[in-house]
Amino acid sequence: MKTSLRIARTSGALVALLCAGGLVACTTTEADVGGTGGSGGGSTTPVGSGGTGPAGGSTGGDGTLCPAPQQVITDFTYASLDAGVSTTEVRFGSAGSLQGGEAYYPNSGTYPLTVDVTQSNYHITGTVGDYSGIRLYFDNCDHLDASQFEGISFTISGSVQGDAIQFGVVSAGNTPTWSWLKANGKTDAKETDIGRCTPSETTNNQYYHPGCDDPTAPIPVTSTPTTNRVTWDKLTGGKPEPSPNPKEITAIYWVIPWSGTGAPYAVDLVLDDLHFFP
């Protein structure tokens, strides 16, 4: 079973959705990311992989398109104006461009993770004993058009179980329709919400939607900061669309490995220099 974590911001609130796992003072190396991914249907519990694909239903709405994204999403530079506001995220963007921030999960419970951005990188530490991950959120919009770019690059280092995490990019074709979500427990789903995939079965669980799976790519993690350039086609395993459509991206996230069983383990990850690349 493959699982992934989405963390969505809805009306100002952070909602953790289980779907499938810096300023660096040293020289970075560069690696192209290949391999296969795939996340399985979204869920808040470990409930196996997705089904066989969409099976009818109404189409999604047009959603709210984000302003045009800038090439540099964030370098996680912690400015003086951030002090006293938040030490767990660096806001990105400016008026007229894509704006948002970063969210992580879990931030409470038995195994809360800790994030520190005061060193001008995204540094996440703690004990992984539950479904865990990081996600970007966008302000006042639900999808963006990044088709002018070839993919996303970022630098990562640290230590994690299995020496790899999963990177996911979701687009509207693999996002459940508003009507299915509303019928399966998402009471605030609206006709205008973007999403064109109808899951292959009714689950009565808005977070578990078999047949609407996320394209992902495995990202190696070592102690040496490494810049990974992930082209859209290297994100695979999505259903019904194997790779994301960059014209309508609805989610960008990283999943920290956790099988749902076994002994908790220590994690120490540093994420930096998050860019689209031409």
State the residue range of the domain holding 149.
Answer: 5-277
Instruction: Compute the mean pLDDT over every residue in the chain, rounded to the nearest whole number.
Output: 82
Residue 178 above 90 pLDDT? Answer: yes
Residue 216 has pLDDT above 70, yes or no: yes
Residue range 138-163: mean pLDDT, rounded: 97
CATH number of the domain bearing residue 49: 2.60.120.430
SS3 readout for the chain: CCCCEEEEEECCEEEEEECCCCCCCCCCEEEECCCCCCCCCCCCCCCCCCCCCCCCCCCCECCCECCCCCCEEECCCCCHHHCCCCCCCCCECCCCCCCEEEEEECCCCCCCCEEECCCCCEEEEEEECCCEEEEEEECCCCEECCCCCCEEEEEEEEECHHHEEEEEEEEHHHCECHHHHHHCCCCCCCCCCECCECCCCCCCCCCCCCCCECCEEEEECCCCCEEEEEEHHHCECCECCCCCCHHHEEEEEEEECCCCCCCCEEEEEEEEEEEEEC
| Count of domains observed in the chain | 1
Q: Is the pLDDT of residue 214 over 60?
A: yes
pTM of the model: 0.81
